[in-house]
């Protein structure tokens, strides 16, 4: 693509993008949806606020095991929604589903709850917006996909890079057009110093917090402080470490851009290398290789040191025979092979269309347009009875692949998953690890 053709194409894309973004503000005139939120912490509320910006909703229920957090969310969401009635609050999400029967359920709980809550929500008749990862073990993920298909419900996974305006543009201009040429390699990475390594004292559980219900099917650790805003992410008991938190976003993005399905083999190595880990048991250093026919995708994270490329501390780089596409939540760069100008695109903000964003506490301003478009895509999929861009099947592949990378690191050998038989052929030890033990009385779901 020569530069003149590129500029014409880019101008057309920009004009269309402006129309689409302006149109988002009109979504509130559509059919009203009965919406419930399970997990009223920071990101749960943020997802709900983005949905409220693009759809007419009645918030019919909120659920949280922390009474203080729930009460604060009730007041904030009620004011934001302009509802005169008090929004019902619940400690047990199953009671919310039974009493309110919402049309849509948003799930913003810690990872170890995602599968059970998603399955129960679709069984109740709701469509679900489910934060990533969809599960903490592979068989949980298979069960969520099976439940969605059986009950005919839409599940949109919160891998909103698929709806990020500048990354959608980069995909159209450089991948779909063929400008990048044949691709044989992609790199994905995160160099944020995000691993918590504190050693807080064991302490009494506050009266307002139901720690047993918060823990649910996970192992019951001694209580060492409120788990909110990231402390729980320091533990493999509740998730899959930085691999399950950050790699899933970028691997899912690369898979979406390149049209990749299941990897044929996954290998990984790493561990805790960088000093005193405190109580945290997640890897601070890890490399994983996801192999596809004629293509390798390599992930690396370090929670110490400096980024390999300061402009891209968390992102991906796709290498083609005609150029390289770099991408992150904040920008993209296309670097052609040989002669030709480097092309940059930047994150889209929507301050004018949605000025309330500027007043929202702790908002990820750069991610708000992506989440709005993701919600819009979710609603369109519900209305047309189709699959959204981050359908649960795609979310399962990205989630399970990251889980398998952790298992490969644990076992010290490559793994190849068979999604039809739901086994790792020839490896009984690894196959057994596809299902984590559940703490009673919770029962592990089956596909």
Q: Domain for residue 301, yes or no?
A: yes
Burial tier of 436 (Cβ tally within 10 Å: 0-12, 13-18, 19+): buried
In 3D, which of 112, 194, 42 has the Cα closest to residue 399?
112
Q: Are residues 321 and 414 in the same domain?
A: yes
C-alpha to C-alpha distance for 325 and 310, rounded to whole angstroms: 16
- Claim to verify: residue 277 and residue 415 sit in the same structural domain: yes
Number of domains forming the structure of the chain: 2
Residue 249 and residue 336 in one domain: yes
Indicate whether 97 and 145 sit together in one domain: yes
Contacts (Cβ under 8 Å, ≥6 apart) of 261: 255, 292, 397
C-alpha–C-alpha distance, residues 108 and 64, integer Å? 10
State how far the Cα of 420 lies from the Cα of 350, in Å rounded to an integer: 43
For residue 103, the enclosing domain spans 24-159
Kindly give the residue spans of alpha helices, DSSP state H, lying in 25-131: 42-54, 67-81, 93-100, 114-123
- 277 and 166 share a domain? yes
Q: Which helix (H) or strand (E) holds 373?
A: helix 368-384
The residues of the chain scoring below 50 in pLDDT are 1-28
Q: What CATH number is attached to the domain comprising 279?
A: 3.30.360.10
pLDDT digits (tens, 9 = 90+) for 305-314: 999 999 999 9
- Asked, for residue 375, whether it belongs to a domain, the answer is no
- CATH number of residue 47's parent domain: 3.40.50.720
- List of residues 6+ apart from 320 with CB closer than 8 A: 180, 181, 182, 183, 184
The answer to whether residues 183 and 307 belong to one domain is yes
Residue 305 lies in a domain: yes
Name every residue whose Cβ is closer than 8 Å to that of residue 165 and which is 6 or more positions away in sequence.
17, 21, 347, 348, 369, 370, 373
Residue 48 inside a domain? The answer is yes
Residue finishing a domain among 159, 185, 204: 159
Residue 80: count of CB within 10 angstroms of its CB: 16
Q: What is the pLDDT of residue 29?
A: 53
Is-cis flag, bond preceding 19, omega within 30? no
Six token digits for residue 67: 């009474």
3-state secondary structure of 308: coil
Q: What is the pLDDT of residue 220?
A: 98
Assess whether 325 and 356 both reside in one domain.
Answer: yes
Same domain flag for 307 and 422: yes
Six-digit token string for 208:
């307002």
Q: Are residues 57 and 105 in the same domain?
A: yes
Same domain, yes or no: 40 and 171: no
CA angle 49, 52, 55 (to 5 degrees): 155
**Cβ–Cβ under 8 Å, residues 216 and 113:** yes
Residue 384 within any structural domain of the chain:
no
């Amino acid at each position: 693509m020569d530069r003149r053709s590129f500029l014409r194409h880019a101008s057309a894309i920009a004009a269309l993008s402006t129309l689409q973004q302006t149109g988002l503000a009109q979504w509130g005139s559509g059919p009203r949806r009965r919406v419930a939120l399970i997990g009223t912490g920071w990101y749960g509320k943020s997802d709900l606020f983005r949905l409220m910006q693009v759809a007419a909703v009645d918030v019919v229920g909120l659920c949280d095991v922390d009474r203080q957090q729930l009460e604060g969310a009730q007041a904030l969401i009620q004011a934001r929604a302009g509802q005169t009635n008090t929004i019902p609050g619940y400690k047990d999400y199953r009671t919310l589903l039974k009493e309110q029967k919402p049309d849509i359920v948003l799930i913003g709980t810690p990872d170890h709850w995602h599968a059970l809550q998603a399955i129960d929500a679709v069984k109740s008749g709701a469509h679900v917006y489910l934060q990533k990862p969809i599960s903490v073990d592979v068989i949980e993920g298979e069960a969520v996909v099976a439940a969605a298909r059986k009950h005919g419900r839409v599940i949109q996974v919160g891998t909103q890079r698929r709806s990020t305006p500048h990354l959608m543009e980069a995909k159209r201009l450089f991948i779909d057009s063929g400008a990048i040429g044949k691709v044989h390699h992609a790199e994905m990475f995160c160099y944020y110093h995000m691993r918590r390594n504190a050693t807080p004292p064991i302490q009494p559980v506050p009266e307002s917090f139901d720690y047993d219900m918060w823990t649910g099917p996970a192992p019951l650790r001694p209580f060492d402080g409120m788990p909110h805003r990231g402390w729980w992410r320091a533990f493999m008991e509740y998730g899959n470490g930085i691999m399950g938190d950050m790699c899933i976003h970028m691997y899912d993005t690369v898979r979406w851009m390149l049209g990749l399905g299941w990897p044929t083999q996954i290998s990984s190595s790493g561990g805790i290398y960088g000093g005193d880990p405190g109580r945290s048991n997640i890897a601070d250093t890890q490399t994983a290789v996801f192999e596809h026919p004629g293509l390798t995708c390599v992930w690396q994270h370090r929670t110490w040191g400096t980024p390999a490329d300061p402009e891209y501390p968390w992102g991906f780089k796709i290498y083609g025979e005609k150029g390289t596409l770099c991408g992150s939540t904040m920008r993209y760069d296309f670097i052609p092979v040989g002669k030709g100008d480097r092309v940059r695109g930047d994150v889209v903000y929507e301050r004018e269309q949605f000025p309330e964003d500027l007043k929202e506490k702790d908002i990820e301003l750069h991610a708000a347009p992506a989440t709005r478009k993701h919600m819009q895509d979710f609603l369109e999929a519900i209305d047309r009875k189709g699959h959204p861009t981050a359908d649960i099947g795609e979310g399962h592949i990205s989630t399970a692949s990251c889980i398998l990378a952790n298992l490969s690191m644990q076992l010290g050998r490559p793994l190849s998953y068979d999604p039809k038989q739901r086994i790792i052929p020839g490896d009984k030890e690894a196959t057994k690890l596809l299902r984590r033990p559940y703490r009673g009385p919770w029962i592990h779901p089956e596909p």
